[in-house]
Amino acid sequence: MNLKYLSRLLLGSVLLVTITACEITQGAPVVVTQKTQTLPDAETVMQTIEKVANWQVARTQYMPHVGRAQLGSESYGRWIQGAFYVGLTQLAERSPNPFYETWIGYVGEAHDWRMGKVKYFADDHVIGQMNLWYYNRHNNQAALVPVKEVFDWLIEQNPTNDLTFIAGRNADRLHNCQWRWCWADALFMAPPTLIALSNATGDQKYIEYAHKEFQATVDYLLDPKTGLMFRDSRYFDRKGKFDEQIFWSRGVGWVYAGIVNSLAQLPEDHQYRPYYENLYMDLTQSIIKLQKKDGSWPMSLLAGEKDPYPESSGTAFFTYGLLWGINQGLLSEKEYLPQILNAWTVLNNAVHPDGKFGWVQGVNDKPDVVAYDDSQLYGVGAFLLAGSQMYDFVSNNAISN
């Protein structure tokens, strides 16, 4: 059967199921503040993350620049879609349903596995993580070649501009900061892709470049007082609406998940692994104490309980990283699981009856506003990452018991 026809057939089935399942609840739910320590079972977790993925897939175009239609700007598309694909690959590894992997393959073929249009821009590199995941499973050279071409070119350019944030991009001049990783989100988008490329090709130059630039970004954006990462240099002195120093939840979440995804690609005995593990542990200590009573993290991390909204994208990234740490034996289950389960309750409350994942702050670079009906591809990707790690945890827990 033709892959394109099969994918459309499967996509139509998913769309039919998600449309007929139930209607979206009107109005925002009451935020649940009561803590729960109930551990979900693996089947329930899988059903939940598949429901969310099905809702999103049924509403997502194949081409990775769908962001143009949604947001009116071509520059948004790659990272929005790419972050979703990163989460979807993790679901595809765990789900017994082959649809997700089939659909990922069709997505790649539909755009010839190309990377983004701006070769130096980290936001256009995240889609390479999907490419390399598919390459590793199918030995598909077409998925590998564009990733290698982009990073070979970038390493040859070897930009050395400083990391002071400059709005906008200029592909012709190396002075623009966005030739390098001058914003926190970039640490999710590019480094794991480069490390995975070293694994795929055996060429260590990609890890070396990733590590050099990763360190430079952390050294520049890490605040020694709080242990948190500024989103970019514009926020070194900015204050939020509660007169707090601004540390954006999703921005720090991008970094936290980027560290995890980099560690997941690094060999256990790699010389750079201690650097990332130490960074992971330090950041964990900084974020865990900022969780609100309802189980979410505030959009402005230092706003605390003054921020009433259960924003789900930052919360999902933090939940993902914490669960990964427990699953890897880096974090104490006894110490961290209660707070993880509170966060998991928040994330489940963000799932609409039909599978739409809500409470996702829209495209931004700072704390702003959010509502129950707000959803975005990257938020779904973050939830799929968190859900995949929860699935692993409860599956392992069931085996050990």
What are the tens digits of pLDDT across the range 282-328?
A: 999 999 999 999 999 999 999 999 999 999 999 999 999 999 999 99
pLDDT band at 397 (very low <50, low <70, confident <90, very high): confident
Q: Which residues are annotated as catalytic?
A: 185
Computed over every residue of the chain, the mean pLDDT equals: 88
Q: Where are the domains of the chain?
A: 3-21+40-400
Whole-angstrom distance, CA of residue 350 vs CA of residue 373: 9
pLDDT band at 275 (very low <50, low <70, confident <90, very high): very high
Q: What is the pLDDT of residues 381-390, one digit of tens each?
A: 999 999 999 9
pLDDT band at 38 (very low <50, low <70, confident <90, very high): confident
pLDDT at 65 over 50: no
pLDDT band at 177 (very low <50, low <70, confident <90, very high): confident
Q: Return the DSSP state at 300.
A: B
Could you tell me which CATH number the domain at 3-21+40-400 has? 1.50.10.10
Whole-angstrom distance, CA of residue 187 vs CA of residue 286: 18
Whole-angstrom distance, CA of residue 82 vs CA of residue 277: 25
pLDDT at 169 over 90: no
Q: Give the model's pLDDT for residue 321.
A: 98
Q: Give the model's pLDDT for residue 32.
A: 40
- Cβ atoms of residues 153 and 119 within 8 Å: yes
Whole-angstrom distance, CA of residue 153 vs CA of residue 311: 38
Find, among 84, 130, 134, 100, the residue nearest to 14 by Cα: 100
pLDDT at 75 over 70: no
Tell me which of 72 and 396 has the higher pLDDT. 396
Q: Give the model's pLDDT for residue 284.
A: 98
Q: Give the model's pLDDT for residue 314.
A: 98
